[in-house]
């Protein structure tokens, strides 16, 4: 299977889009910090009490959602089991062991679900 020019251009466009988005996000955050700094410097020059530094830039710590682990566990487990079934039936005449490839994702899903169950049991 060979890649075409269009495949390469698509990959480059996707990579460029990700880099561009990251740059614009960083630039916007930097500009906002500069504006806040200028406001604080002007307040200091005029002798006005400094306004509180808006910590909207720092992410507020929120408690983890207890439904995240079982949702991700179910997604990983179902995706990997489905992939194993499809790979097994696509390579049925060859009787190869390619169906084992998605097994780590299956174990990850089972681990997430088991961790959720253990945390729920410990919380009782």
Both structure tokens of 114: 């088991």
How does pLDDT run across 73-88, given as a tens digit for each residue?
A: 999 999 999 998 888 8
Q: What are phi and psi of 14, to 5 degrees?
A: -65, -45
Q: How many CB atoms lie within 10 A of CB 17?
A: 10
Contact 57, 29 (CB under 8 A): yes
Q: What is the pLDDT of residue 53?
A: 65
Query: Which range is least confidently modeled, 13-22, 28-37, 45-54?
Result: 45-54
Helix then strand then coil, in percent of the chain rounded to 5, is 70, 0, 30
pTM of the model: 0.50
How does pLDDT run across 38-93, given as a tens digit for each residue?
A: 888 888 898 888 766 665 555 566 777 888 889 999 999 999 999 988 888 887 77
Tell me which residue of 81, 69, 71 sits closest to 107, measured CA to CA: 81
Contact 40, 32 (CB under 8 A): no
Q: What is the pLDDT of residue 122?
A: 81
Cα–Cα distance, 27 to 33 (Å, whole number)? 10
Contact 108, 74 (CB under 8 A): no
């Amino acid at each position: 299977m060979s890649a075409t020019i269009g495949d390469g251009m698509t990959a480059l466009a996707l990579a460029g889009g990700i880099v561009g988005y990251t740059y614009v996000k960083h630039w916007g955050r930097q500009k906002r910090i500069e504006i806040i700094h200028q406001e604080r410097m002007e307040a200091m020059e005029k002798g006005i009490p400094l306004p509180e530094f808006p910590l909207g830039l720092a992410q507020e710590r929120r408690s983890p959602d207890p439904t995240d682990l079982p949702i991700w566990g179910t997604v990983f487990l179902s995706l990997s089991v489905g992939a194993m079934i499809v790979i097994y039936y696509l390579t049925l005449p060859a009787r190869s062991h390619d169906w084992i490839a998605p097994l780590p994702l299956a174990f990850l899903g089972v681990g997430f679900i088991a961790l959720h169950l253990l945390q729920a049991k410990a919380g009782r």
